[in-house]
Amino acid sequence: MPLEAFLAGAALFAAMLAAVAVATALIVRRRLRHLDPLELGLASVVVGTVVLLGVHLVPLMLGVLTRGTVLAAAALAVGLAALVRPAADAGAALPDDERRPPPPASAAGAYVSWSLAAIAGAFATAAALAYLARWAGDELVGVDPLTFHLPNVARWIQEGSLWQIDQFVPLLAHGNYPNNGDVLLLSSVLPWHNDFLVRLPIAFYLVALALAVFAVARELRAPRSTSVLAAAVIVSLPVVGLATIPRALPDSLMWATYTCGVLFLLRHARTSRRSDLVLAGAALAVAIGTKWYGVSSVPVLVAIWLAARLLAARRAGTPGALPRVLRDGVLVGGLAILGTLVWLVRNLVLSGNPVFPLDVELLGVTIFHAPPDVIRDQAGFTIADYAADPDVLRQLAGEIVEGLGSAPIVCAIGLVVAIVLARRRGRAPDRRILVLATGAIVLGLLYTVTPATALGLRGDPSLANSNTRYAIPALLLAVPVLAWAVGRLPRAGALALETALAAGALAGAYHGYEVRGIGDIALAAVGVAALAGTAWLLWRLRDRRVVLAGAALASVLVGLAAAHRMEDRINDGRYRNIDPGVDAMLSAAPSGKRIALAADWTVAGLSPIWPAFGTTIDNEVEFMGRFVDGFLTPWDDRASFQAALRRGRYDVLVVGRGFYPPQPTPEQEWAIDAGWHTIALTPRLRVLVPPSASGTHR
């Protein structure tokens, strides 16, 4: 990428972020100054995320997405934020009934507890930073981001609209997913029309997740040291590291905002402030519209919270309590639904079913019909499907441990202990603990019946590890509850649980962030120490504005230099020398070309879909097929395939050689019969060019 193009993109990105930051600051300063610093920071994350998504979604919904319209929407967001009126008690001291009581110390002893927390937290931080630094100069990898997340973003940029079903693999429904996470990716791709920066926002929400878990544990009055340990455990789950940094999957956005929603629901139970409900609803709105398992996990959380409040209001018998609780439920639930509404409407308009490809029935009556889901029927099994098959369950247990480590076992023990402690005789039951424990159990059971949790062919759930992500909402509730229990246990029990948590965090971070050796950790630790020392020094010099301005300028210049180096490393030979078939495709269609995809290819290797769009998203890419009953379906006869090949006027055709290559997929024969010439043949792919272009590539 030329330097001037990089700098122009950086200016656009900075202008957009600055407008989002100003709008967020206006809202937070005028309405939320009563929050403590950590809560204020997480509230800013929630508000800023909503604004960031909004300034991209509005142009997308209007069908006018460009770099300029995003800046215009960002400017409009600033104007609207400026109209927000300050709260009546903005900046006032908290009343006594809103002050959080101090947490107890860990029964394991302050020195031991803080040592375990420090070791686990420092190791997880260093491992994650080393992993991020190692991947910073490499292309994005993984089936999901290259098959549909980034291709969706590319199609939005090319079309300027979200009003189409973008599908690049047949018989799946990737184009019907809730896409808040893809809008987040869009925000870092649009300024440059390039993906070199997409790992950074995902890593940002990984940090936000750790802070939110700590804040939830602290809100429950868990020991501070154990709260730090709880945060380390969550971000050290092996599947978290593998999903976030090399693959930049948007799950971290869902996890972080889901946990923020939990935090502000808990805070409302203590303060009764309406602003806490608004923040909770806004956070859950982002989460529910990010992943399909958010669409199930968020309603479960809201339903259990609302049921607990209704039960408490009924027992209290306070006049007017029930209507007030119902109004609060409508507020939180209504805000949450808004987060996925645009995606449900898109699916309804374009596929005839808001939750396509699921059937929706009520009392035996079909409300929204969906045709048979061939792929889900063949490979999308649930854990519950194998409840009576001990051999498969043993394999699934290994897959779950590979994805989640020992956390489910420790949390199961901790939930039992917490429920017993919360209902101990002689003390009032701690309802917040009981509600969270109930939520964790229900979400854990929901995980076992969620499609694709036993991903793989019948009797062989060999891909279930990657979908252990669906269990993380349950752990987001269970781990803070476990931290609370540590503060109420005798010394031996507290020490055992904290040691188990620390050991799980260390092992999980080691595997999830693929630690290569002590050198990785040592270098990252030095970097963390340097950043911490610089931050401390600037805090001491906070009254010297010239020093702060100089530090800010230096940070911008260093950041620009680092980003340009990262961009240069990624785009110099982007996706080259990985698969010879992809190399041939990129050579034949560097930019401004039309590329067709056909047949199936194994997922064990580089997906050609995202690389096909080119370095700056200049190529048009589509799968050769037609939509039948909402599913993209391949052409199944020679004449139709060859007619589509003629109509498409493609410059390059990439044909897969089957899930178990090399297989004689018929599209290869049909293309050759139509006069197309092979320019590359690998075990996975056949790359062809039309007769008119074959001489150029011989």
Give CA–CA dist 431/648, Å, rounded: 62
Give me the pLDDT at residue 695, please: 54
Give me the pLDDT at residue 316, please: 77
Give me the pLDDT at residue 427, please: 59
524 or 306: whose pLDDT is higher? 306
Give CA–CA dist 432/220, Å, rounded: 8
- 694, pLDDT greater than 60: no
- 429, pLDDT greater than 90: no
Q: Are strands 652-656 and 594-598 parallel, antiparallel or unpaired?
A: parallel
User: What does the block give as tokens for 273?
Assistant: 């402030």
Give me the pLDDT at residue 503, please: 96
What does the pLDDT average to over 474-485? Answer: 96
Give CA–CA dist 205/391, Å, rounded: 38
CB of 656 closer than 8 Å to CB of 601:
yes
Residue 483: C-alpha distances to residues 156, 251, 476, 498 (Å): 43, 24, 12, 8
- 178, pLDDT greater than 80: yes
Give me the pLDDT at residue 541, please: 77
Give me the pLDDT at residue 611, please: 97
pLDDT tens profile 589-624: 999 999 999 999 998 899 999 999 999 999 999 999
What does the pLDDT average to over 300-323? Answer: 88
Give CA–CA dist 208/505, Å, rounded: 18
CB of 641 closer than 8 Å to CB of 182:
no
Give me the pLDDT at residue 550, please: 85
- 266, pLDDT greater than 80: yes
Give me the pLDDT at residue 696, please: 54
Residue 531: C-alpha distances to residues 46, 118, 297, 527 (Å): 25, 17, 37, 6
- CB count in 10 Å sphere of residue 698: 7
Residue 360: C-alpha distances to residues 292, 343, 365, 367 (Å): 15, 16, 8, 5
CB of 499 closer than 8 Å to CB of 242:
no
Give me the pLDDT at residue 360, please: 85
> Any idea which fold 580-697 has?
D-Maltodextrin-Binding Protein; domain 2 (3.40.190)
pLDDT tens profile 521-553: 888 888 878 878 888 887 777 788 788 788 888
Highest mean pLDDT: which range of 64-78, 300-314, 557-571: 64-78
Give me the pLDDT at residue 114, please: 93
Residue 366 belongs to what H/E stretch?
Answer: strand 365-368
User: What does the block give as tokens for 170?
Assistant: 């047949």
CB of 184 closer than 8 Å to CB of 57:
no
What pTM does this model have?
Answer: 0.95
Give CA–CA dist 535/546, Å, rounded: 16
CB of 352 closer than 8 Å to CB of 368:
yes
Give CA–CA dist 624/271, Å, rounded: 57
Give me the pLDDT at residue 534, please: 81
pLDDT tens profile 373-385: 888 999 999 999 9
What does the pLDDT average to over 41-49? Answer: 97
Angle (deg, nearest 10), helices 37-62 and 3-31: 120
Place of tokens 């630690």: 515
Q: What is the mean pLDDT of the chain?
A: 92
- CB count in 10 Å sphere of residue 531: 11
Angle (deg, nearest 10), helices 407-422 and 472-486: 50
pLDDT tens profile 94-128: 565 566 777 877 777 788 999 999 999 999 999 99
Query: How remote is the C-alpha of 310 from its chain's centroid?
Result: 32
CB of 157 closer than 8 Å to CB of 189:
yes
360: which DSSP letter? E
Give CA–CA dist 352/276, Å, rounded: 36
Give me the pLDDT at residue 98, please: 63
What does the pLDDT average to over 138-156? Answer: 95
pLDDT tens profile 181-213: 999 999 999 999 999 999 999 999 999 999 999
Reduced to 3 states, what is the DSSP secondary structure of residue 361? Answer: strand
Q: Poorest-confidence range of 151-160, 259-268, 482-491? A: 482-491
User: What does the block give as tokens for 416?
Assistant: 């039992």
pLDDT tens profile 377-428: 999 999 999 999 999 999 999 999 999 999 999 999 999 999 999 887 555 5
Give me the pLDDT at residue 241, please: 93
Residues 6+ apart with CB under 8 A from 375: 171, 172
Give me the pLDDT at residue 544, please: 80
Residue 452 zone, left/alpha/beta (φ > 0; ψ -120 to 50; rest): left
User: What does the block give as tokens for 173?
Assistant: 């429904």
Bond into 357 cis (ω within 30): yes
pLDDT tens profile 636-650: 999 999 999 999 999
CB of 497 closer than 8 Å to CB of 267:
no
Residues 6+ apart with CB under 8 A from 93: none
> What's the first-to-final CA gap in the chain, in angstroms?
29
Residues 6+ apart with CB under 8 A from 92: 34
Give me the pLDDT at residue 623, please: 96
Q: Burial of 665 by CB count in 10 Å (0-12 exposed, 13-18 middle, 19+ buried)?
A: buried
Percent of the chain with pLDDT over 70: 97
Reduced to 3 states, what is the DSSP secondary structure of residue 158? Answer: helix
CB of 476 closer than 8 Å to CB of 237:
no
- 93, pLDDT greater than 60: no
Give CA–CA dist 349/639, Å, rounded: 31
Domains of the chain, residue spans: 208-249+373-522, 273-371, 534-572, 580-697
- 88, pLDDT greater than 80: no
DSSP codes of every residue in 599-651: S-B-SSS--SHHHHTTTTT-SEEEESEEEETTEEEE--SHHHHHHHHHHHT-S
Helix residue ranges per DSSP H, 63-144: 67-82, 110-135, 143-144
Give CA–CA dist 624/608, Å, rounded: 14
